[in-house]
């Protein structure tokens, strides 16, 4: 399988890459098979994802999946992210080869962790 034009675009032009000061939630996940790691930062407004930033270390598909997923989840209720599936992440990059499907797993896991972190914070107040 070739990589899709959408995946290549997100890899070459990642959106929302970088850190975030004072996020409302932070989460990460990784894949021991190749050392890929994704960390997401969330900023919430009225219990919705207002801003997403990410840091990713790993293969091109993981970087592309993180970029595409950052756009996918913006505007959604944070509770929705608790149920984000790897298949949804894979769809937004128009598929992944079998040996790169871990990219979607890592990204979905990191976003779920960030959502959970935001919901568990005792200082969480509506903004």
Is 16 a member of any domain?
Answer: yes
Is 125 a member of any domain?
Answer: no
Is 34 a member of any domain?
Answer: yes
According to DSSP, residue 3 is labeled P
Query: Would you state the pLDDT for residue 1?
Result: 64
Higher pLDDT residue, 85 or 32? 85
Q: What is the CATH number of the domain that holds 67?
A: 3.90.1010.10
Other CB atoms closer than 10 Å to residue 99's CB: what's the count?
Answer: 11
How distant, in Å, are the alpha carbons of 3, 42, 79, 96 from that of 82? 28, 13, 5, 22
Is residue 31 over pLDDT 80? yes
Query: Would you state the pLDDT for residue 33?
Result: 83
Is 40 a member of any domain?
Answer: yes
Q: Which residue has the tokens 């932070």?
A: 26
Is 106 a member of any domain?
Answer: yes
Q: What total number of domains does the chain contain?
A: 1
Is 126 a member of any domain?
Answer: no
Residue 18 belongs to what domain range?
A: 5-120
Q: 89-125 pLDDT, tens per residue?
A: 999 999 999 999 999 999 999 999 999 999 998 765 4
Is 127 a member of any domain?
Answer: no
- Chain Cα centroid distance, residue 54: 7
Is residue 68 over pLDDT 50? yes
Residues forming a β-bridge with 41: 26, 53
């Amino acid at each position: 399988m070739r990589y899709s034009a959408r995946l290549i675009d997100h890899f070459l032009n990642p959106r929302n890459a970088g850190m975030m000061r004072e996020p409302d939630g932070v989460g990460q996940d990784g894949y021991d098979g190749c050392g890929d790691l994704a960390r997401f930062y969330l900023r919430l407004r009225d219990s919705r994802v207002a801003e997403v930033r990410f840091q990713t270390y790993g293969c091109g598909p993981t970087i592309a999946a993180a970029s595409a997923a950052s756009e996918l989840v913006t505007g959604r209720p944070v509770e929705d992210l608790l149920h984000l599936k790897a298949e949804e992440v894979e769809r937004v990059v128009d598929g992944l080869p079998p040996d790169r499907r871990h990219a979607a797993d890592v990204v979905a896991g990191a976003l779920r962790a960030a959502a959970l972190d935001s919901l568990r914070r005792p200082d969480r107040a509506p903004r």
